[in-house]
Structure 1
Amino acid sequence: MILKYYYIFFLLLWVLGSCSPRNLTYLSNLEEDGATSETITNDVDPKIQPNDLLNITITSLSAESNVLFNKGVIQTSSSSGGAEASLKSTGYLVDKNGDIVLPVLGKVNLAGLTKEQAANKLTLELGRYARDPIINISYLNFKVTVIGEVNNPSTFTVPSERINVFEALGLAGDMTPYGKRDNVLLIREQGGERMTMRINLNDKNVLHSPYFYLQQNDIVYVEPDKVKAVQVSPGRSNVQYGLSIGLALLSVVTLLITQVF
């Protein structure tokens, strides 16, 4: 009988040890009643980086200048390869030094500038060659990647050039139940540096985080919780398998002793 109670005790410990409470609610500490209104202070315009592909349109009072400085209209294609080739032929690629090459002007460094700042800089530069130029800049390859414990991991192109972490998760089909909402990893390359930071999506303060809004080429990695890690980790799975075998053997021994006595 004593062994039988030991068996039940160890079985309960094993079950309780394999289950841990998890908070699956985003912004779980946000007040449920009433509405709130706060000024947005963390929406920062993305800055131009090496390998960005920019669409730059230049209009002025001179038709000759318009033809000279513009690369034409982007042509679409039914095949992905054709579309990519078309984009590259019409966009301005920012090189590793942060420069683009414009007709007449030659190399112009735009690294670290927002679109508005870059447009102002080009307006001053082109003012020597075109009458009252108007510059419009947009990204052709603004994208973010969401991987890990989400239903549709992928790289997503963002036409609006503005996206927050919740919108990115929405594009990826949201997290699976195994995703760690309180410890999401963000990987960002900026100014020649690669940075990593953690985001707690259970906490309402994430709405004010400087990392709430994503930048181009950001990677969002949703880590699996301990339950999923046990399922896929060979080492931990072996431990769990060994415990199961041990408990099964203990059960058999308990039954045999009970029948004997």
Structure 2
Amino acid sequence: MKLLTSVLLFFILLTCASCVSQKKMIYLQGADYLQDNPQQIKENFELKIQSDDQLAISISSKDRELIEPFNNSTLIGSGSSQYSAQAGVSYFQVDKDGNIEFPIFGTLKASGLTRMELAKELENRLISQNYIKDPQVSVKIMSFKVTVLGEVKAPGVQNVTGERLTLLEALGMAGDLLPSAKRENIMVIREEDGKRKSYMVDLTSSYDVLNSPCYFLQQNDVVYVEPNSAIRVKGSGTMSTMASTFGMISMVASLVSIIIALSR
């Protein structure tokens, strides 16, 4: 009888150890503080142009004939003219060295600049070299991609239109974290200034998430969600471990009840 009681106690302790506490499952803990104390956003986020980016550059002027030499109707990534350029819009691929081949001006450095900075650079050149007196230049990053891997429902590469994507949005697009995910150690691997860096983000801490340099993701970021300690075998998760444990506890409890009944 003592042996059976000890076995039952062991399984109860095992269950408690394998259960993930509710506190470790809640995102952005402490964010309710912002309700009465709004956080000042220090600066507007802007992507910086990187190699392999696709750019759409629009040049407009009162004299439409002046912008014709700067039109580029070539399909991005191809030598053909299958992509019909809209009036005054040109499409460019940033090469591995961070440059674009711009009509008339030739090779221009684009990587490291924001789209607004590149637009201003082009405007200044057009004016200073007496091509267009009243140019209005607009630069748009056509799309960028991030990769989400690990304990999420839909891991894979995400192609994003627009220029703003937060870490939370990327995880939402991946179907959110699985119950087996470790929420305190989300890794973001990023290429910056020719170097590869990694950052760790604790999703359970609102301060850590909202103040992280990875709150806004950048081109080619890789997000990895680590499994928690409940993962024993590839493809298993916390829920399956708990279900098996509870099943064993139920069986042992039933056996103890039968023995007690028979001993009376």
Does the TM-score normalized on the shorter chain lie above 0.5?
A: yes
Q: What is the Cα-based RMSD across aligned positions, in Å?
A: 3.8
Q: Can you give the 5+ residue segments of structure 1 that lack an aligned partner in the other structure?
A: 76-84, 235-240
CA deviations 1:172-213 (Å, max 9, x no partner) are: 222222222221111111221111111111111121222211
Matches within 5 A, 1:77-226: 86=83, 91-127=91-127, 128-132=129-133, 133-205=135-207, 206-226=209-229
2:52–2:94 Cα contact (<8 Å) kept? yes
After the TM superposition, list the runs of 4 or more consecutive aligned residues in structure 1 that deviate by more than 4 angstroms: 72-75
Cα pair distance change 1:178/1:42, threshold 3 Å: farther
Shift of 1:40: 0.8
The AA in structure 2 aligned to 1:24 is M
Q: Is the partner of 1:230 in helix, strand or coil?
A: coil
Q: Which has the higher strand share?
A: 2
The aligned counterpart of 2:4 is 4
Hey, what's the Cα distance between the residues in 2 that align with 1:173 and 1:105?
45
Matches within 5 A, 1:218-237: 218-227=221-230, 229-232=231-234
Cα pair distance change 1:61/1:73, threshold 3 Å: farther
Shift of 1:100: 0.5
The aligned counterpart of 1:66 is 67
The aligned counterpart of 1:15 is 15
The AA in structure 1 aligned to 2:46 is D
The AA in structure 1 aligned to 2:202 is N
- Percent identity over the alignment is 33
The AA in structure 2 aligned to 1:169 is L
The AA in structure 1 aligned to 2:223 is V
1:187–1:197 Cα contact (<8 Å) kept? yes
Q: Can you give the 5+ residue segments of structure 2 that lack an aligned partner in the other structure?
A: 77-81, 85-89, 237-243
Shift of 1:71: 2.1
CA deviations 1:199-236 (Å, max 9, x no partner) are: 11111112122221111222222222222x224279xx
Hey, what's the Cα distance between the residues in 2 that align with 1:232 and 1:11?
23
Hey, what's the Cα distance between the residues in 1 that align with 2:220 and 2:198?
13
The AA in structure 2 aligned to 1:91 is Y
Hey, what's the Cα distance between the residues in 2 that align with 1:104 and 1:26?
52
Moved more, 204-213 or 152-161: 152-161
The aligned counterpart of 1:26 is 27
**How does the TM-score come out when normalised to structure 2?**
0.76
The AA in structure 1 aligned to 2:101 is V
Cα pair distance change 1:218/1:43, threshold 3 Å: farther
Give the aligned length.
Answer: 244
The AA in structure 1 aligned to 2:37 is T
The aligned counterpart of 1:53 is 54
Hey, what's the Cα distance between the residues in 2 that align with 1:53 and 1:33?
37
Q: Is the partner of 2:120 in helix, strand or coil?
A: helix
Shift of 1:25: 1.5
1:47–1:112 Cα contact (<8 Å) kept? yes
Shift of 1:11: 2.6
